[in-house]
Amino acid sequence: MDLIDNILKGERAAIAKAITLVESSKESDQQVSRQMISELIKKPGKSIRVGFSGPPGVGKSTFIESFGSYLVSQNYKLGILAIDPSSQITGGSILGDKTRMVEISKNPNTFIRSTPSRGSLGGISMGTREASIILDAAGYDFIFIETVGVGQSEIVASNLVDIFTLIVGPGSGDELQGIKKGITEYADIFIVNKNDGELKIEASKTAADYKSALSYYKKLDELEKQVLLVSAIEQTGMEDVIKTINQIIDQNKLKGIFEERRANQLEYWIEEEVKNIITSDITKRLSSKGNISKYSEKVMKNEMSMFEAVETITKDTLK
Amino acid sequence: MTNKSNNGFNTWQKSFEKETKKNFNDAKSETDEGIDIKPVYTKDDIENFSFVENNSLPGQWPYTRGPKASMYTNRPWTIRQYAGFSTAEESNEFYKKNLESGQKGLSVAFDLPTHRGYDSDDDLVMGDVGKAGVAIDTVEDMKILFNNIPLDQMSVSMTMNGAVLPVLASFIVAGEEQGVDRSLLSGTIQNDILKEFMVRNTYIYPPEPSMKIVADIIEFTSKEMPKFNSISISGYHMQEAGADNVLELAYTLADGMEYVRAAMSKGLDVDDFAPRLSFFFAIGTDFFMEIAKLRAARTLWAKIMKDFGAKNERSLILRTHCQTSGVSLTEKDPYNNIIRTSYEALSAILGGTQSLHTNSYDEAIALPTDESARIARNTQLILQNETGVTKTVDPLAGSYFVENLTEELSKKAWDIITEIEELGGMTKAVKAGIPKLKIEESATKKQAKVDSGSRVVVGVNKYKNPKEPSVDVRVIDNNRVRDDQIKKIQAIKESRDTTAVEKALANLTNAAKDETNLLAPCIEAIKLRATVGEVSKALEQVYGRHFAKSLSVSGVYGKHFEGDQEFMKVENKIKEFENLNGRRPRVLVVKMGQDGHDRGAKIVATSFADMGFDVDMGPLFQSPKDVAKDAIENDVHAIGVSTLAAGHKTLVPELMKGLKEIDPKSKIIVFVGGIIPEQDYEFLYENNVSAIFGPGSNIIESAEKVIDLISDNLSKV
Ligand code: B12
Ligand SMILES: Nc1nc2c(ncn2[C@@H]2O[C@H](COP(=O)(O)OP(=O)(O)OP(=O)(O)O)[C@@H](O)[C@H]2O)c(=O)[nH]1
Ligand SMILES: [Mg+2]
């Protein structure tokens, strides 16, 4: 495929079109996309995939602008996949990330793609994983994935990346009581943003709260989880972030954790794909038979129980 | 006994109900502000006021009836037409002609590069030099601008906010080099940065240092320029951006409070500067509401200033300039605009403004021609000389309706002011983006009313003129202006003492690092012929440049069209499109160059999203090259360029070039919306623009055309 060559050459338009393909809900696009991804996977690049998640408005985009500027100034090539939470259930969506990434979006060493989340689970859109494979093959050193932290999204997002970062704001330490143990397993780095001006004291306090909470949950064989203080607006703390990322990557590689994670993620991916195919197949079968209403009527008339109906339909569908 | 219980009223009500077949209590109409207007007002409606005082007199507390006792009976309002274009030479000629024809004060419109602190030779401003105002790069330009206009006699208003320091410094130096001491200069500098962050978009630095600059100017002028208004606290731009009158009133006064605090924090006593605070409001088409707004503004400001501890009576008095509403004027059937402007002008006068700008009928097409500017000016001359409106002060005082409306507006505005104060004041609110969002919401509602036809705009959505007149437009050759300016800059840079300039600029940078008042070191640098751009950059080194983070309203437009056939037709087309193409139609809406008019772009973006488009919203001030990168990376189907400040002939071809440079096979199509004179359509089509949507375009119809053109384009292989 021409497209693949052009992606490997790093051509912007080709990368963009390829991402469109992997995001497309059209069956024929999905076929092309699968072929393409199978090819690209054979030509892995060297990128490190970093996830940034956190509640709305903590400054994820601003941080990415700030941290990203720092990275491109060090001559790294940076791909950014921003999953925009602003999508609505009915209408379309307004993708406003670029208004928060004004400087890096101009830089020739960046590629920034926004995707409406469409309310899909965890704010991760269909195709995010594939998009990062494309950017990897195209030669980007870092791939950032920005997602809003709601519900289960951390888990899904952390399954796409080598390093998962949670960005929080000053004052969010209070919420720690409510934070489940789970989160410490998924996040590798905790960044307390807005460490500037009047918020400084609060930010330090929050960082301390996180640190103590984290040490409480720490497993024996685990690395100490890092809590970093930054100000995206004043662009402070950026060296620490890159240093920490590199450190964790190096250590993980050394200990084989890096590869292990990627293997687990592959497993997860395969499982997901299988589940997807089965679900959509079953959904199709269900609706083509269209006999649910027939059974529900029976249930209404007390001719059979709800559970009998379920059982019968299931058997029928799986036939 | 109250009116309502007396027989007279009951009889009236019966007759009313019989005539209208409506229950009196249901016969109200709601304004944009959410105020219910009744079909009749009586004595009952002017009782129990908490703001308005019934028996007050003009020039007396609470100044509802006017800042002065005699008002226009002694001296009519000042006819002050806002103007400026191309070079200082040409604007100077224009000013002199206007003064000969009866205009009384000057009001300078600067071009966008000047506003944003860029010199004309900066690459970032290629399409913008001299286009939407006059280009000022150095004090030499400023001197030319006022050539043969004695600055000790002429009051000069300058709309300048972002680059307020170098521009005010240039004005002071130009005066001095004309032989006029700064203490004799009279006029106004707008110097109102908060509304820039909200709606006008010619900010340079972030909010905090910007507020410090505002305070510096208030401090400096209060000490050295006693005849000069240090600030013009402006609601005008808010209404033009879509705010209703309550929002305009509340935000303006809340801004005013913030400036008072900023000045007091410099150690000034409130009475040292408050008499030199001035205001600026828009006057739209809602005739009585606008009158009431001016009366309410004075009433509330007096109360606010009293609370600040002002003792000097002049500190309590709100003096204002007004401008008729540009956004009420239409591109279609443009002579209607003369009529609209006349009513608005009358409204401003009945409200008691101190000076007035009336717009030209070609407002929605381009900068005014000599001819259209003459008619606009004559609108005021006729009011002053032929109608008798100057003979009685505040003639509507005592009107049950107008007094009641004044009170209602005051109450509603006061609620919002209180809310903002509780939030910590306007700087905080502005930083959080709340006022901007509220204004955009209000603007979107207005658009929905016009597009649905529930609000009639004559000549646009009803009573259309089958034979649209074609009007002359002022054409500005920005390339020529830019070349002229660049030559002048070069000549100055060659002849000035470079080391001295550099030292002065370094001084300025240092001054920005501490709390020193910045105007004096600016004056030094400007005197030595530092450019506006150099001075701005010297400060930028310390403060940085501000990039606005844009939020968007959502669902406001769509809500208005629930169940609407046309709207659903577009929605369905989009669903079909998605089924066919595996994704929704995706459009990137952009603003390029220094054009900060974002009302149209934001409204189009939110409405399109409500219909089902995926809309990428670009930041302000993008270069065509950046837009091309953005569009290609996001693989959008189309780019919608919104352009109002006349940069389109430079910027659109650049965009086309940028797209082809990244992807020679790019199939992204380009639409253009905004202020495009008919004469430029052909040029744009020749440059492969797919469609043009001018002012007054119905957004649902536009969306349908956009989706059709995108589909067509995709089917072409
Ligand atoms: C509102 C307004 C302002 C507001 C802007 C507020 C804001 N945040 O947007 C304020 C008061 C701040 C302002 C300031 C200035 N303004 Co002004 N302003 C206007 C005004 C009166 C209305 C524009 C408007 O918002 N209309 C309402 C919106 C909804 O309409 P619209 O943008 O045209 O969009 C519609 C269509 O065009 C189309 N459309 C537009 N974009 C797109 C995109 C797509 C994809 C699609 C499908 C459709 C589409 O659909 C929309 C819905 O119908 C116009 C004159 C006029 N009547 O048009 C002058 C006007 C644009 N301003 C002008 C000038 C000169 C200025 C200043 C530069 C003056 C100065 N020297 O200081 C300043 C600086 C502003 C800046 N930073 O750029 C000039 C420009 C001259 C020219 N082009 O030759 C105009 C034409 C007035 C004039 N005749 O002098 N302005
Ligand atoms: N004081 C301070 N404010 C910040 C900082 N970073 C971001 N902000 C502000 O926080 C707000 C939200 O920033 P964004 O970057 O849009 O946040 P986000 O997390 O990407 O938001 P969503 O994408 O909407 O979830 C903006 O008003 C920023 O100016 C910071 O370091 N310090
Ligand atoms: Mg974001």
Q: pLDDT for B460-472, tens place per residue? A: 999 999 999 989 9
Cβ–ligand 1 distance for B366 under 6 Å, the answer yes
Cβ–ligand 2 distance for A202 under 6 Å, the answer no
**CA separation for the pair A43, B184 (Å, rounded):** 75
Cβ–ligand 1 distance for B640 under 6 Å, the answer yes
Within 600-659 of B, beta carbons closer than 8 Å to A belong to: 605-606, 608-619, 623, 626, 629-630, 632-635
Nearest-by-CA chain B residue for A234: B544
Ligand nearest, relative to CA of residue B669? 1
Nearest-by-CA chain B residue for A118: B614
Q: Is B554 on the interface with A (CB under 8 A)?
A: yes
Flag whether the ipTM exceeds 0.90. Answer: yes
* Environment of ion ligand 3 (residues, CB < 5 A): A 60-61
What are the residue numbers of the active site of B?
Answer: 82, 236-237, 591, 595, 597
Res B2: pLDDT: 53
Nearest-Cα distance to chain A for B168, in Å, is 30
pLDDT truncated to tens, each residue of chain A (319 aa)? 699 999 999 999 999 999 999 999 899 999 999 999 999 999 989 999 999 988 888 899 999 999 999 999 999 999 999 988 765 655 788 998 888 899 999 999 999 999 987 655 444 567 899 999 999 999 999 999 998 765 566 677 888 999 999 999 998 766 655 555 566 678 899 999 999 988 999 999 999 988 888 877 766 666 678 999 999 999 999 999 999 999 999 999 999 999 999 999 999 889 988 888 888 888 888 877 667 888 888 899 999 899 998 998 888 888 7
Nearest-Cα distance to chain B for A90, in Å, is 7
Res A122: pLDDT: 44
Whole-number Å distance, alpha carbon B88 to ligand 1 midpoint, is: 23
Q: Is A272 on the interface with B (CB under 8 A)?
A: no
> Out of A15, A16, A96, whose CB is closest to B550?
A96
- B32 and B25 Cβ atoms separated by less than 8 Å: no
Res A198: pLDDT: 86
Cβ–ligand 2 distance for A194 under 6 Å, the answer yes
CA B321 to chain centre: 13
CA-closest candidate to residue B443, choices B673, B190, B239, B268 = B239
Whole-number Å distance, alpha carbon A56 to ligand 1 midpoint, is: 32
**CA separation for the pair B640, A199 (Å, rounded):** 39
Asked whether the beta carbons of residue B630 and residue A105 sit closer than 8 angstroms, the reply is yes
Res A150: pLDDT: 58
DSSP lists the bridge partners of residue A148 as: A54
Helix (H), strand (E), coil (C) string for B432-455? HCHHHHHHHHHHHHHHHHHHHCCC
Element (H, E) at A191: strand A189-192
A99 contact residues in B (CB cutoff 8 A): 547-550, 617-619
B454, B460, B463, B467: CA torsion to nearest 10: -170
Res B1: pLDDT: 43
- A92 and B615 Cβ atoms separated by less than 8 Å: yes
Ligand nearest, relative to CA of residue B439? 1
Q: Is A199 on the interface with B (CB under 8 A)?
A: no
Res A290: pLDDT: 65
Nearest-Cα distance to chain A for B617, in Å, is 5
DSSP lists the bridge partners of residue B589 as: B617, B640
Provide the H-helix boundaries in chain A: 2-8, 12-23, 27-41, 60-73, 102-106, 128-137, 153-158, 182-186, 200-217, 238-255, 257-289, 292-300, 306-318
**B565 or B548, which is more confident?**
B565
- Average pLDDT of the residues in B454-461: 97
Query: Average pLDDT of chain B?
Result: 96
Cis peptide leading into A44, omega within 30 of 0? no
A113 contact residues in B (CB cutoff 8 A): 633-634
Asked whether the beta carbons of residue A92 and residue B619 sit closer than 8 angstroms, the reply is no
Q: Is A105 on the interface with B (CB under 8 A)?
A: yes
Cβ–ligand 1 distance for B367 under 6 Å, the answer yes
pLDDT > 90 in chain B, percent: 96
- Average pLDDT of the residues in B611-638: 97
Res A125: pLDDT: 63
Query: Each residue of B34-85: pLDDT tens digit?
Result: 999 999 999 999 999 999 998 999 999 999 999 999 999 999 999 999 999 9
- Average pLDDT of the residues in B520-546: 97
Res B259: pLDDT: 97
Q: Is B564 on the interface with A (CB under 8 A)?
A: no
Res B606: pLDDT: 96
CA B653 to chain centre: 28
Q: Is A196 on the interface with B (CB under 8 A)?
A: no
> Out of B549, B608, B635, whose CB is closest to A92?
B608
> Out of B554, B626, B632, whose CB is closest to A88?
B554
Within 61-90 of A, beta carbons closer than 8 Å to B belong to: 62, 86, 88, 90
Whether the per-residue pLDDT at B398 is higher than 60: the answer is yes
